[in-house]
Amino acid sequence: MITVGIDDISIYFPKLHFEIEAFAAYRNMDFSKLNKGLGLESMSIPDVHEDAATMGANACLRLLERNKISPKDIGRIYLGTESALDGAKPTATYIIEMLEQKYGAGSFSHCDVTDITFACVGGVDAVHNTLDWVARGGAEENRQGIVIFSDHAKYSLNSPGEYTQGAGAGAALIKQNPRLLEIEDTWGVSTNPVHDFFKPKRKITHQKMVQEILDLAKEKDTTFPEHLSEEIVKAIPASSKKDEILFEENSLTIHKDTPVFDGQLSNRCYTDAVKNAFINFKENAIKRGRYNEDTDDIITEQWSRIVVHLPYAFQGKRMFPDVFMLDRKETHTGASIIKQIGEDPSADETKMAGFSDSEQEKIKNGYRRLISKTEEYQKFTANKIEKTQKASGFVGNQYTASIFLALMSTLEIDLSENNKLEGKKIGFCAYGSGAKSKVFQGIVQKDWAEITKRFNLFSRLENRTAINATTYEALHRGYQIESVVKPSGEFVIESVGGSDVLEGHRKYTWVD
C-alpha cells in the first residue's frame, strides 16, 4: 500500500543568538520567570545578510544535498511564511533563484512554486496541500515535493512579545513511502476569523510625518513658527515634491515586520482552536473507521509524542489541559482528576453567562492550572511533550517552522535515549493566528533513526555566536550595516535596489 508523508526534514537557524539571561538584564526583567516559567534560554537573531529567503534557501539546499536529489525529481516547492518580502512576487521565487546558482539556470523551471500565508500554520497548510498532490499522482507518477517554512519572528522593542522572538527555516521532502513519517489522511480543522495577531498596512498622514520631524528638531533647540506643520502640508499639492514617494498620496502606507497583537486573546484563541480542531479530528477519524470509541485507547494515549506550535517553549504543556481532560471525559483518569480538583466551573453555562469575558477566562485558566498540577497531567506531559520543547527554548519562535523544529527536537532526543519509535503515532496540533488550527497524526517509519542521526540539531545550536544588547538593538533597528559574523557556506543578500535595477529588486548570492 502506498503511503505519503515526510521523507526527510532539515532545519536552518541564524548563527547569532541573544541569550535570555542577557536579554532579561537588558530589559530589567526577572530571568527566572522567562527561563523557569516559559522555558526560554536564547533567541535566534538574523544577521544583516539574512532574511526569510536566504534562510529558506539554506534549509532547502541542506535537504537537497543530503539526499542527493536532482531538481528534475522535484515537482513543486511550496513556502509557508508570514515574513514575505514582497506584496506580489512570492518569496519562494527568490529561493528558486538562489538554488539555481547551485544547480544551473532554469533547473527548477518545471516546478510549481508559491507562497502560502496563514500566520504560523502556513507551513502545515503547505504540507497538507503537498501531501494531497503527492498522493494524487499515484505510484505511476511517484511525485516528490518540497515544503519550505521560513520566518523571522520579530516584535517591537519593549513590547510584551519581545522575549519570544526567534528566526529560522526548514525544508521537508514530501513523497510516497517516506522513510521518516507517514502522515495519515485524517485532519481536524477549526477556523475562526478573530483579530488576535496581524500585520496590517498602516497609514501615516502628511501632518503626522511633518510634525514628527519638527518635534525631533525641537529636541535640538530649534524653534519654528506656530502651525508650521499645517502650512507645510497645505503647500505639498503645489510643490515640486508632490510626486515624491512620501507625498504622492495624502498618507504614506507602510508595512512593518512587527505585528499588532493581543497576547491574552491570542492565547485564548490558540487554546480554543486546538480544542475544536481536536474534536473535529476525532469526528473525522470515527467517520473514516480509523477510531472506535468503544474499543480503542483514547487518542492522546495513542500518541507517543505530541508536537504543537511553540511560540515559546512551554506553550504546549500550558495550553493542553483542555484537550487532555476532554479526551478523558469518560475515563477513570478523568474521574480521578475531578475527584482531586472538582468539576470544571466553566461547564456551568448559566453561571458563566453572568461573568465578563475576562472573568470567564480567569476561571478557565484557574481550572487549567489545577489540571496541570495533577500527577496524571505532569506524567503525561513529561512523556509526550517535554522533549518537543527543548530546541525551541534555544531558538525562540520560528512562526511557521516552530512545529517542525519541535518534531526534530523530540526525534533527536529520543534517538539519543535509544527509544524505540518505529510504528508509534505522533500527534500534531498546529495553530496560526487569525485564526486556524489543524490536528493530524503521523506514524514513525522504520528508517527514522537513520534519518534523524543526520539532523545534528543540538550540536549546531552549540556552535552559534552570542551577541550583546548593543548589537541586538542595532540589528533590530537596522542600524547594523556590516555582518556581525562573516558569512561562509551560505546564501546571502547581496543588494536591494540600485541604479541598474528596478526599485526594491533583491539580489542574492552564494558565499563559499
Q: Please provide the distance, in angstroms rounded to a whole number, between the alpha carbons at the two ends of the chain.
A: 44
**Average pLDDT over every residue of 63-84:** 98
**Average pLDDT over every residue of 197-216:** 95
Give me 256's grid cell.
512593518
Please give the pLDDT value at position 65.
98
**Average pLDDT over every residue of 207-227:** 93
pLDDT in tens, 333-365: 999 999 999 999 999 889 999 999 889 999 999
Kindly calculate the radius of gyration of the chain based on its CA atoms and give it in whole angstroms: 25
**Average pLDDT over every residue of 403-425:** 98
Please give the pLDDT value at position 1.
78
pLDDT in tens, 443-468: 999 999 999 999 999 999 999 999 99
Taking CB atoms within 8 Å and a gap of at least 24, the contacts of 32-39 are: 34/163, 37/314, 38/163, 38/164, 38/312, 38/313, 38/314, 39/312, 39/313, 39/314, 39/389, 39/392, 39/393
pTM above 0.85, yes or no: yes
Residue reference for cell 518580502: 85
- How many angstroms separate the Cα of 137 from the Cα of each of 67, 116, 128, 268, 512? 21, 21, 15, 40, 38
Please give the pLDDT value at position 358.
87
| Between 274 and 347, residue with greater pLDDT | 274
Residue 443 and residue 421 in contact, taking contact as beta carbons nearer than 8 Å: no
% of the chain exceeding 70 in pLDDT: 100
Please give the pLDDT value at position 168.
98
CA–CA separation, 27 vs 17, rounded Å?
16
Average pLDDT, the chain: 97
Residue 324 and residue 338 in contact, taking contact as beta carbons nearer than 8 Å: no
**Average pLDDT over every residue of 471-475:** 98
- Superfamily for 4-197+260-320+385-466? Thiolase/Chalcone synthase (3.40.47.10)
**Average pLDDT over every residue of 380-402:** 98
- Dihedral angle over CA of 480, 485, 491, 494, nearest 10: 40
Q: Does residue 405 sit in helix, strand or coil?
A: helix
Residue 322 confidence (pLDDT) above 90: yes
Buried b (16+ CB within 10 A) or exposed e, 330-366: eeebbeebeeeeeebebeeeeeeeeeeeeebbebbbe
Domain regions of the chain by residue span: 4-197+260-320+385-466, 201-255, 321-384
CA–CA separation, 185 vs 430, rounded Å?
16
% of the chain exceeding 90 in pLDDT: 98
Please give the pLDDT value at position 357.
86
- How many angstroms separate the Cα of 191 from the Cα of each of 118, 216, 437? 11, 45, 7
